[in-house]
Amino acid sequence: MKTDVEELSPTRVKLTIEVPFEELEHAFDVTYKSLAKQVRIKGFRPGKAPARLIDRHVGRGAVISEAVNHAVPELYNEAIQKEEIFALGQPDVEVTKLEDNDELAFTAEVDVRPKFDVPEYEGMQVTVDDAEATEEQVEEQVNNLRERFSTLVGAGRPVQQGDHVSIDLSASVDGEPLEDVQTTGLSYEVGTNTILEGLDDALEGMSEEESATFSTKLVGGEYEGQDADVTVTVHSVKVKELPELDDEFAQMASEFDSMEELRADIRSRMAQVRRLQQLNQGRDRALEKLVESVEIPLPDSVVGEEVDRRNQSLEQQLSQGGLSKESYLESQGQSEEEFEQELTQGATSAVKAGFILDQIAIEEELSADNSELTEYVVEQAQRMGVSPDQLANHLVESNQIQVAYTEVVRAKALDLVMEKATITDESGNVVEREAEDEAGAGETESAAEAAVAEGAEELETEADSPEVRESAEAEQK
């Protein structure tokens, strides 16, 4: 087999592959065995007909076409391995010469991972927020806890902003009652404006067992956008009563005897959470620095696939929440053009970051073993709210284990960057990396190990093959 490689651009190449017919023997053997099981030739059992009779029965051209279809993918994979090409996605293949008993020639154009040098990250300076909680933040948590122990008591007066009321609602359009637009015993906090426009104004000043009618536009449902007359009846008016912030409250709301101890515990817990947030922030900012510090030509197809993936993800989330894209953009204060620009920028940065982490992994010879893949599956399953073995089986059945492999290796590459970086908070204190908590993971992991083992073993044996990472990356994008 002869292979020539032409660089069409920094991110795309064209392979020209020429193969003498004698090197297609394996492809013809497979083809004849397959066709022999399909055709029925008098005097021969299924699968036993000789090649010359199959040629005569189905036509030599059909046999050649079938053999070429089988051979081209194998020859292409052999060529990119030989030429050490890191292909992204599927190639555009064109057969340029096909002469029986002579030669097969074809071209394959494919996007490739760009070549670049990773910027120096040894000693990279990264600044993150302070971990120490401010007194205002501590008091905010104290007040949140106080809200949880609040009680509602009768107001003994007309409705005011902030009151909690129990109400009935009914609506009519042009005097015709709407049976589907009514409710009884609805609890509502006045001033939140979360039900109907004009309701808060109508409620203010009303007394218990009093009714009032106001006009509004209905939102949602069959009558969305129509003007309606809505009648509201108030059954109860209550106010939120908060407990005093004293030692008695501390004993009721926690295991501590005093507010001083409770505040100290809240401050300590917040600092622990914020230290973990510091590390996550440090990872994000370290990766942002790497992305900003190097220019990389990016394949348009890969960026386009990432844009499509993000659009599909957003549409799915909006659909689940019953929202339209128009209402989402309105809530974000964005035009369609601004949204698309922001989405494209995010997708471009993500693709670029992936290339950088892949290059670090190659240079540092990073890989993922079975236990690391299992740990990844367990973590993802917990986030998704499914069992680890269920997710693992899905990954294996849908051939997504390679995507998991890429994610694990990229995470290890970013960990390496973090190890070599210097992370300080805004006050100048060095932030030390903390060991990850592995307590309790053993039993959960065992449920996933069996399911991922088959796919993981294959990846382990092919970890050094360029197409493994690149095909995984292409699937992910």
What's residue 201's pLDDT? 94
Distance of CA 335 to the CA centre of its chain: 24
Average pLDDT, the chain: 86
**Does the structure show a pLDDT above 50 at 21?**
yes
For the stretch 75-99, pLDDT in tens is 999 999 999 898 998 899 999 999 8
**Does the structure show a pLDDT above 80 at 437?**
no
Surface-to-core class of residue 91, CB atoms within 10 Å of its CB (0-12 exposed, 13-18 middle, 19+ buried): buried
What's residue 461's pLDDT? 42
Q: Which CATH class is domain 2-112?
A: alpha beta
Q: How long a stretch of residues is the chain?
A: 477
Give the closest residue to 236 by CA, choosing from 326, 148, 166, 293.
Answer: 166
For the stretch 350-399, pLDDT in tens is 999 999 999 999 999 999 998 999 899 999 989 888 888 888 888 888 88
Q: Phi/psi at 254 (nearest 5 deg)?
A: -155, -175
Residue/partner pairs of 27-35 with CB below 8 Å, 24 or more apart? 27/67, 27/68, 27/70, 27/71, 27/74, 28/63, 28/67, 30/67, 30/70, 31/63, 31/66, 31/67, 31/70, 32/63, 34/66, 35/63, 35/66
Unique residue bearing structure tokens 């990766």:
287
Instruction: Please compute the mean of the pLDDT values over residues 21-28 and round it to a whole number.
Output: 88
Partners of 159 in beta bridges = none
**Does the structure show a pLDDT above 90 at 324?**
no
**Does the structure show a pLDDT above 70 at 106?**
yes
Return all residues near 158 (Cβ < 8 A) that are at least 6 apart.
204, 205, 206, 207, 237
H/E segment holding residue 62: helix 60-82
Q: Answer yes or no: same fold for 2-112 and 151-241.
A: no
- Output the pTM of the full model: 0.67
How does residue 45 score in pLDDT terms, banded at 50, 70 and 90? Answer: low
CATH code 3.10.50.40 for 151-241: yes
**Is the CB of residue 110 less than 8 Å from the CB of residue 92?**
yes
CB atoms within 10 A of CB 312: 10
What's residue 462's pLDDT? 42
**Does the structure show a pLDDT above 90 at 188?**
yes
**Does the structure show a pLDDT above 70 at 465?**
no
H/E segment holding residue 231: strand 227-241
Unique residue bearing structure tokens 């494919």:
110
What are 201's two structure tokens? 């104004």
**Does the structure show a pLDDT above 70 at 415?**
yes
**Does the structure show a pLDDT above 60 at 171?**
yes
What's residue 434's pLDDT? 59
Instruction: Please compute the mean of the pLDDT values over residues 18-28 and round it to a whole number.
Output: 90
**Does the structure show a pLDDT above 90 at 230?**
yes
Domains in the chain: boundaries = 2-112, 118-150+244-297, 151-241, 364-477
What's residue 43's pLDDT? 64
What's residue 37's pLDDT? 78
What are 72's two structure tokens? 């081209």
**Does the structure show a pLDDT above 60 at 203?**
yes
CB atoms within 10 A of CB 338: 12
Collapse the DSSP code of 87 into the 3-class scheme (helix H, G, I; strand E, B; otherwise coil) and give the result.
Answer: strand
What are 229's two structure tokens? 């007359």
